């Protein structure tokens, strides 16, 4: 029994949900997203969308909750959007952007330049005395998470000094150094 799948998703004003066969398209002020939902059927009733599974098979139970969450994220994305913030911790670590190009100086012999997708808005904040912050925002939750993970993978935070790229608010597990 999928408790998540049984919950209806409320559709806020300004968002339109269109169901054609097994394809759900969500349009809002920030953009448009679509998702294929396989065997699960979606029904739009006024201001709510409910998902129903064809059988009690384990696969259908799993997909029921999955597609309900994906559709809820799509609706939240096109109405409010999603934001991830990354913090660069380390001496000489810098970030700057020109449009959709993100330029990272992470202690390597060269700068890392990333071309970001047009759906992502990037902003870099560098204040004196504070660590540089990269703000990624988009209406696609999956895309924001993927790009943030890619940027973090260039210099993961290490446990001894805490240097690297970390999410804002992330708690790092720190280790003690050599005891001499």
The pLDDT of residue 70 is: 94
The pLDDT of residue 1 is: 45
In this structure, the dihedral spanned by the alpha carbons of residues 50, 53, 54 and 56, taken in order and rounded to 10 degrees, is -140
pTM of the model as a whole = 0.88
Phi/psi region, residue 32 (left: phi>0; alpha: psi -120 to 50; beta: rest), is beta
- Write out the two tokens for 159: 């446990």
d(CA 124, CA 5): 38
Contact present, 132 and 126 (Cβ < 8 Å)? yes
The pLDDT of residue 178 is: 86
Per-residue pLDDT of the chain (180 residues; tens, 9 = 90+): 458 888 999 999 999 999 998 899 999 999 999 999 988 999 999 899 999 989 988 899 889 999 999 999 999 999 999 999 999 999 999 999 999 999 999 999 999 999 999 999 999 999 999 999 999 999 999 999 999 999 999 999 999 998 999 999 989 899 998 886
């Amino acid at each position: 029994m999928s408790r998540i799948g049984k919950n209806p998703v409320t559709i806020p004003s300004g968002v339109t949900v269109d169901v054609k066969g097994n394809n759900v398209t969500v349009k809002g002020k920030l953009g448009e997203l679509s998702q294929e939902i396989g065997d699960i059927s979606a029904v739009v009733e006024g201001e709510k969308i409910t998902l129903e599974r064809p059988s009690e098979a384990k696969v259908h139970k799993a997909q029921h909750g999955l597609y309900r969450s994906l559709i809820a994220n799509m609706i939240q994305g096109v109405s409010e959007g999603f934001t991830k913030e990354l913090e660069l911790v380390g001496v000489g670590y810098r970030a700057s952007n020109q449009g959709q190009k993100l330029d990272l100086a992470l202690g390597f012999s060269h700068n890392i330049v990333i071309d970001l997708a047009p759906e992502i808005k990037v902003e870099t904040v560098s204040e004196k005395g504070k660590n540089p912050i990269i703000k990624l925002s988009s209406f696609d939750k999956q895309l924001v998470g993927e790009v943030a993970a890619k940027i973090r993978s260039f210099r993961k935070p290490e446990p001894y000094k805490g240097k690297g790229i970390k999410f804002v608010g992330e708690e790092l597990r720190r280790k003690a150094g050599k005891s001499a």
